Amino acid sequence: MNKNTPIWRPFTNMKHSPDPHKVIRGNGVWLELENGQKIMDLISSWWVNVHGHAHPEIAEAIAKQAKTLEHVIFAGYSHEPAEKLANLLVQELPKGQRRIFFSDNGSTAVEVALKMAYQHWKNLGVDHKQRFLAFEGAYHGDTFGAMAAGSRSVFTQTFDDLFFEVDYLPYPKIEDGDEIASTEFEVLAKLEEKLVENHAYAAIILEPLVQGAGGMNMCRPEFLRALEQLAQKNDLIIIYDEVMTGFGRTGDWFASRVAGTNPDIVCMSKGITGGFMPLAVTSANDRIFESFYDDDANKTLYHGHSYTANPLGCAAAVASWQLTKQAESVFRNFPDRYEKFVEELSAFSLVSNIRNRGTILAWDLQVPGQWGYLNPVSTIIKERAHESGLLMRPLGNTMYLMPPYCITEEELSWAFERILALLKTL
């Protein structure tokens, strides 16, 4: 299988994976396949599609921009869509995030954040702050810096020797029966211990409120606030990787706004263009920016990509921003819409750790086999879901819903019914 095609697919064992389903059209939450089957996209196509497929307003904005200016070098030259987008983002980002740096995907947004934090200290003449702190279970992308900052796993083990050193803390995820406050206290105590005994940390990077690829692990806003206090006391830079949590996913524009926290650096991508164009942003506060704002050319942030701030991407993001603004009450309401389904889910003895943050609902399945991403139940569910008209992609034994915000009440009930039926077959 997959042998007679020039395409080498992402995260895919090319020898053992079945041929992919060919999609010919998208509309709202629906994907239409070549064979005529319709599939409901419950995971927003890897979490990027926040407003539904082929949204006419975003499509129109891209078409209009394409006929005006498709791309231009972003050093020495500028353009309206990038400037407009930067101003809009600053309005919704947490207080202090005033500097917008463009790149093209979540991994590069993280690379830029790590470089900003590392160079910040060099620019200040502080040479010993060179290590990063991160969390177990974290996923920050697949480029080298992003892999190094992420949790070490089967996906990265081949490259282990090439990574810079990172110290990890446990992510205080909310689980059935756990005393979450004391779990958080232990993590914070570990962090404080590290900060006191070792002054070598440039920054701490984390996925605020929800760790995505690591299994939809959720922590409390209280934890983010306590972490911020500790970081401030110890002069530690905080990087929020909001690549997945941004643009309404967690029930507000950003997880930082849910928690009321003010990180130094924020990474964004996925939902930024509504899933239309690859685009990313790393924002920073003036604390970071000021250390680069200097007569000395060596203090420049020497980073950029050919497609940095691509006008089509920025135009899509501006249109998507407006739709996100209109959808505020919609993404805030998801917990209510999940309520009855959560009750039905909890009746299954197979189901544990049901958790919800904003538009994201996740639960674990108590099935035999290794706990985590490689549990074989994910393949079985993926196939059965597809047969019943649902696009789902469990993270091992963790199932989750992350639909586009435009999903209607009827569509959601339809999905719930099918998921419950699917669970009965396990």
**Binding pattern to ligand PLP, positions 164-203, x when CB under 6 A?**
----------------------------------------
Stretch that binds ligand PLP, among 76-84, 103-111, 292-300, 341-349 (CB under 6 A): 103-111
Per CB under 6 A, 244 contacts ligand PLP: yes
Per CB under 6 A, 223 contacts ligand PLP: no
Per CB under 6 A, 217 contacts ligand PLP: no
Per CB under 6 A, 207 contacts ligand PLP: yes
Question: Which residues contact residue 113 at a Cβ distance below 8 angstroms, ignoring those fewer than 6 apart?
Answer: 205, 239, 241, 265, 266, 267, 282
Per CB under 6 A, 111 contacts ligand PLP: no
Answer for which of 26, 212, 246, 274 binds ligand PLP (CB under 6 A) is 212
By Cβ distance, which residue is nearest to ligand PLP?
Answer: 106
Per CB under 6 A, 106 contacts ligand PLP: yes
Q: Which C-beta is closer to ligand PLP: that of 279 or that of 284?
A: 279
Q: Which C-beta is closer to ligand PLP: that of 241 or that of 364?
A: 241
Stretch that binds ligand PLP, among 138-146, 195-203, 334-342, 405-413 (CB under 6 A): 138-146
Stretch that binds ligand PLP, among 66-74, 101-109, 229-237, 354-362 (CB under 6 A): 101-109
Answer for which of 49, 97, 103, 107 binds ligand PLP (CB under 6 A) is 107
**Binding pattern to ligand PLP, positions 333-372, x when CB under 6 A?**
----------------------------------------
Q: Which C-beta is closer to ligand PLP: that of 7 or that of 196?
A: 7
**Token pair 């500097």 is at which residue?**
99
Q: Which C-beta is closer to ligand PLP: that of 137 or that of 212?
A: 212
Stretch that binds ligand PLP, among 121-129, 139-147, 222-230, 355-363 (CB under 6 A): 139-147
Binding region for ligand PLP (CB under 6 A): 105-107, 110, 139-141, 207, 212-213, 241, 243-244, 269
